[in-house]
Amino acid sequence: MAKVLLEDWKEQYRDERIERMSRDEMSALQSERLVKQVKNVYEHVSFYKKKMDDLGVEPGDIKGIEDITKLPFTTKEDLRNNYPFGLLAVPKEKITRVQGTSGTTGKLTLASYTNKDVEVWGECVARGLTMAGLTAEDRLHICYGYGLFTGGLGLDFGARALGAMAIPMSSGNTKRQLMCMEDFGATAFACTPSYAMYLAEAAQEMGVIDRLQVKTSINGAEPWTDEMRKQIEDIFNINTFDIYGLCEITGPGVAMDCIHHKGLHVYEDHFYPEVLNPADHTPCADGETGELVFTTLSKEGMPLLRYRTKDLTSIDHSTCECGRTLPRIQKFTGRTDDMKVIRGVNVFPTQVETALLSMGGQVAPHYMLIVDRENNLDVLTVMVEVTEEYFSDEIRKMEALRERVGAVLKQALGVAVKVKLVEPKTIERSEGKAKRVIDNRNL
């Protein structure tokens, strides 16, 4: 299928009343839901009762959404300390689903859902799919992992709510993925952006691009750049959309961008967003970068107050060109725990990706950051994959390319790095979330 051009795009709304609601109407809805939710968790979740009591806050102090700053924060550590069911606001018998993520170490981060929670989750994903131009006639090939990870099932629930065909491939076996995309006539697919790039490369090698019917891809679960978006769109000749979510809040479907790609629309009738200064937790003005914090306004099973996501972004409450009044969060610069401080300079993997993609195809968008400490100094080594067109066995040519890459990265990052060029397709491809950083400093 041919990529739909912006001027030919027909904007669709899953729930126009909510998606174009005035700011005053939305604030009233959020206030009503917040007041009920605070009373609910105070009465049914001992963790929150203690938190609020420690702050000297009672449910009656929360009269509207403007009072949200009086409430306590929730962190991932709180979830782990109350694992597995210590944060439930309903009896365990009403929990019909659990989802989780392993994180980096230790116990799962577990989220619990009632039937209504699952329905809301599917409806929010369906809003995003509609925003991406999908209808009940589409066939969505889902190559996010299924299981406790929310990616696969979240898109599956969304396809079901939309009435579209779900193709539950899960992850792995790329050749089989492409065969089924062709055989089943998939019109859209969903996966991480790094795996979408991998699929694009594989489809080119197999010569199947022109035989696919895909028109749209839904990509999320990791930060990615506009440069990578353009590469995926150009290879597949499709439109791509960025979807955002996290297990603790609901899974994919918390936010998604529209065809204008001016930020991801947050479904704030269910998930109230704040962007706060990470240092003092004061609210950031629109356009200022800070930590994204969510309060679940309607969740029954495991509602969370002011959950600190560690994702860094900014927010824009102005009306979008698509007509939606839902606020938009910008593409993430990274996470507070992904950021590496190298000799006093903040470095995010997405900065490296943007710099490499600016080099006109000399290097591939596959890289690895390795941080070491040598003689009490931080040393950042960036492994970069050279494209086949530019790879050479002539040392002089490779040394010149290495110097060019080093100069581009130094300008982008503000700190000198070591560059190690490697042959095409030697950096491990990821079928899930790409691992971009190895920190050997043991800080």
Tell me: the pLDDT tens digits for 169-178?
998 899 999 9
Domain formed by 6-23+111-335, architecture:
3-Layer(aba) Sandwich (3.40)
How do the domains of the chain map onto residue ranges? 6-23+111-335, 340-439
Tell me: the pLDDT tens digits for 248-259?
999 999 999 999
CB atoms under 10 Å from CB of 318, counted, come to 10
C-alpha 279/C-alpha 291 separation (Å) is 10
Tell me: the pLDDT tens digits for 324-365?
999 999 988 666 666 677 876 768 787 888 889 889 889 988
Give the helix/strand (H/E) hosting 226.
helix 226-236
Q: Which CATH class is domain 340-439?
A: alpha beta
- Asked if residue 104 has pLDDT above 50, the reply is no
The confidence score (pLDDT) of residue 222 equals: 79
Residues 6 or more apart whose CB falls under 8 angstroms from that of 284 comprise 275, 276, 277, 290, 314, 315
Residue 57, amino acid: V
C-alpha 94/C-alpha 101 separation (Å) is 21
C-alpha 405/C-alpha 385 separation (Å) is 11
Q: Is the CB of residue 242 less than 8 Å from the CB of residue 331?
A: yes
Q: Is the CB of residue 412 less than 8 Å from the CB of residue 355?
A: yes
Long-range contact set of residues 176-179: C-beta below 8 Å, sequence gap at least 24: 177/141, 177/143, 178/202, 178/203, 178/206, 178/208, 178/212
- Asked if residue 103 has pLDDT above 80, the reply is no
CB burial readout 262-288, b (16+ within 10 A) else e:
ebbbbbbbbbbbbbbeeeeeeebeeee
Tell me: the pLDDT tens digits for 199-225?
998 999 999 999 999 999 999 987 788
Question: If we measure between CA atoms, which residue out of 339, 329, 335, 281 comes closest to residue 306?
Answer: 281
SS3 sequence of 62-79: CCCHHHHHHCCCECHHHH
The confidence score (pLDDT) of residue 335 equals: 66
C-alpha 406/C-alpha 419 separation (Å) is 6
User: From the centroid of its chain, how far is CA 338?
Assistant: 14
DSSP 309-326: EEEEE-EE-SPPTTS--S
C-alpha 165/C-alpha 145 separation (Å) is 17
Which pTM does this prediction carry?
Answer: 0.82
The confidence score (pLDDT) of residue 107 equals: 73
Give the SS3 label for residue 328.
Answer: strand
C-alpha 420/C-alpha 275 separation (Å) is 37
The confidence score (pLDDT) of residue 124 equals: 98
Which tokens belong to 236? 């597949």
CB burial readout 33-44, b (16+ within 10 A) else e:
bbbebbebbbee
User: What ranges in 85-143 are assigned the alpha helix state H?
Assistant: 115-131
Mean pLDDT for the chain? 92
Tell me: the pLDDT tens digits for 85-102?
999 999 999 999 999 985
Res. 430 pLDDT band, cuts 50 70 90: low
Give the helix/strand (H/E) hosting 188.
strand 188-191
Which tokens belong to 149? 């990870």
Residues of the chain with pLDDT > 90, as a percent, come to 72
Strands 345-347 and 340-342: what pairing? antiparallel
